[in-house]
Amino acid sequence: MPGTWLTGERPGTTSVAGAEPRRWRAVLLAIGHRDGADSAVADSLDELERLAATDGIEVVDRTVQVRRRPDPATYLGSGKVQELAELVGTRQADLVIVDGELTPAQVRGLEDRVGARVVDRTGLILDIFGEHARSSEGKAQVELAQLAYELPRLRGHGREMSRIGGGRTAGGAGIGVRGRGEMRLEIRRRHLRRRMRTLNEQVRRTARRREVTRRRRLRERVPSVAITGYTNAGKSALLNRLAGADAEVADVLFATLDPLVRRLRIPDGPTCTLTDTVGFVRHLPHQLVDAFRSTLEEVARADLALHVVDASSPQATEHIATVHQVLRDIGAQDVPELLVLNKADLAEPGHLAVLRRLHPAAVVVSARTGEGLDALRDALRDRLNALSPPPAVRTGRPAGAEGAP
């Protein structure tokens, strides 16, 4: 299902009943430091292509410009802009997806010169989140992030408004009309801010409700385990395997946005809660991190982080580093971690051996075949039993409060 927040109507959408709307055809664009063989750029573009596919967009080509820093007005240098415009023409693309974050001025500058819609990585991720949000909390968080992204970019619409209103015509009349455009822009800004306040309040209310449940678990001294990891690592699949849950498992990025909590009884060990939540990705938009802070904080408050890694991905090591970075960003760096190398059935044996050497304490599993799950339960039991002092005391709440019913 293609997202519609960012890109709106598909190009050439027909009104014929039953006709499939045409898919966006996109050219991917990145700035690299070295020519062609910059593998970090290539990896990032591969991921951008998967993000685009998740959003129902067809990628028809990609291009990299070697450049120290983006041009403030057009992102690319003028020669490359011309090249990009030609590429867009020959490939009949109607969208350019930039692997970075653009200023509103750069989006306008590029769109004007290239003759296609221009979106950046952040916008694309926000679009996907918009499509995958299910719960009212998830929807509110995504909308909040989208509005935070939109607000500083509103000027673009202002320009269009004033152009529609004749803002570009010469003479005194133009000024008055442009003034009207400005006013509408200000009204729209105010409307967005008001909406953001409402949504913030809604998200806070849900967070407070979750806090009540969390405190009850604390009183019952049920340790909490948060499943974290890169998007598509197999977090939901593992939760389903371990706890017999029915979380949505899908080969798309960001299938899960809402936290799903299950109780897990470990043989000869404690009963714990297992929480599945949103996955991470490189350059996770800060608007999303802010909006999802209360969801992400579940990880910061957990007694143990079960960090699931897709061991079949050649980028597994970069993914681990990205996850650690996001965990630091949300203040979860001190939560003890149990690393799980998943998709062992799919991983290339040599690659898996390297990962094992790098992470000797990790447990190797396959959520698909069930391989390694007993070892994972053992490791979980050992780690939970070793939690000392017990979870309820580690929260810093006054000792007297623990025994309250």
Ligand X SMILES: Nc1nc2c(ncn2[C@@H]2O[C@H](COP(=O)(O)OP(=O)(O)OP(=O)(O)O)[C@@H](O)[C@H]2O)c(=O)[nH]1
- The binding site for ligand X (CB under 6 A) comprises 229, 231-237, 249-251, 253-256, 279, 342-343, 345-346, 366-368
Backbone φ and ψ for 115, nearest 5 degrees, come out as 75, 35
How many other β-carbons are positioned within 10 Å of the β-carbon of residue 184? 15
Q: What's the closest the beta carbon of residue 47 comes to ligand X, in angstroms?
A: 13
Rank residues 94 and 258 by Cβ distance to ligand X and give the closer one.
258
Q: Site map for Mg ion, 207-246, x if CB under 5 A?
A: ----------------------------xx----------
Q: What's the closest the beta carbon of residue 284 comes to Mg ion, in angstroms?
A: 15
One of 144, 255, 376, 392 touching Mg ion (CB under 5 A): 255
Rank residues 117 and 235 by Cβ distance to Mg ion and give the closer one.
235
Rank residues 256 and 295 by Cβ distance to ligand X and give the closer one.
256
How many other β-carbons are positioned within 10 Å of the β-carbon of residue 170? 6
**In this chain, which stretch among 44-52, 69-77, 207-215, 253-261 interacts with Mg ion, using CB under 5 A?**
253-261
CA angle 339, 46, 329 (to 5 degrees): 45
Q: What's the closest the beta carbon of residue 310 comes to Mg ion, in angstroms?
A: 12
Rank residues 214 and 319 by Cβ distance to ligand X and give the closer one.
319
User: What's at 220, amino acid-wise?
Assistant: E
C-alpha dihedral (300, 304, 305, 308), degrees to nearest 10: -170
Pick the closest to residue 356 from 281, 365, 55, 278 (CA basis): 365
342 binds, among Mg ion, ligand X, none (CB under 5 to 8 A by kind): ligand X
Rank residues 110 and 347 by Cβ distance to ligand X and give the closer one.
347
Rank residues 253 and 363 by Cβ distance to ligand X and give the closer one.
253
Q: What's the closest the beta carbon of residue 153 comes to Mg ion, in angstroms?
A: 30
Using CA atoms, how far apart are residues 228 and 164, in angstroms rounded to an integer? Answer: 48
233 binds, among ligand X, Mg ion, none (CB under 5 to 8 A by kind): ligand X
Pick the closest to residue 93 from 75, 111, 106, 70 (CA basis): 111
396 Cβ neighbours under 8 A, 6+ residues apart:
none
Q: Check residue 275 for interaction with Mg ion (CB under 5 A).
A: no
Using CA atoms, how far apart are residues 317 and 303, in angstroms rounded to an integer? Answer: 24
Which token pair is 313?
A: 């991905």
Contact (CB, 8 A) for 83 and 63? yes
Q: What's the closest the beta carbon of residue 250 comes to Mg ion, in angstroms?
A: 8
Using CA atoms, how far apart are residues 69 and 350, in angstroms rounded to an integer? Answer: 37
How many other β-carbons are positioned within 10 Å of the β-carbon of residue 58? 14
One of 74, 224, 240, 256 touching Mg ion (CB under 5 A): 256
Rank residues 93 and 309 by Cβ distance to ligand X and give the closer one.
309
125 binds, among ligand X, Mg ion, none (CB under 5 to 8 A by kind): none
Q: How many residues bind Mg ion (CB under 5 A)?
A: 4
19 Cβ neighbours under 8 A, 6+ residues apart:
none
234 binds, among ligand X, Mg ion, none (CB under 5 to 8 A by kind): ligand X
Sign of CA dihedral 346, 349, 352, 356: positive
232 binds, among Mg ion, ligand X, none (CB under 5 to 8 A by kind): ligand X
Q: What's the closest the beta carbon of residue 330 comes to ligand X, in angstroms?
A: 16
Q: What's the closest the beta carbon of residue 381 comes to Mg ion, in angstroms?
A: 24
207 binds, among ligand X, Mg ion, none (CB under 5 to 8 A by kind): none
How would DSSP label each residue in 229-273? EBTTSSHHHHHHHHH-------SSTT---S-EEEEEEPTTS-EEE
Judged by the rule CB under 5 A, the positions of this chain that interact with Mg ion are 235-236, 255-256
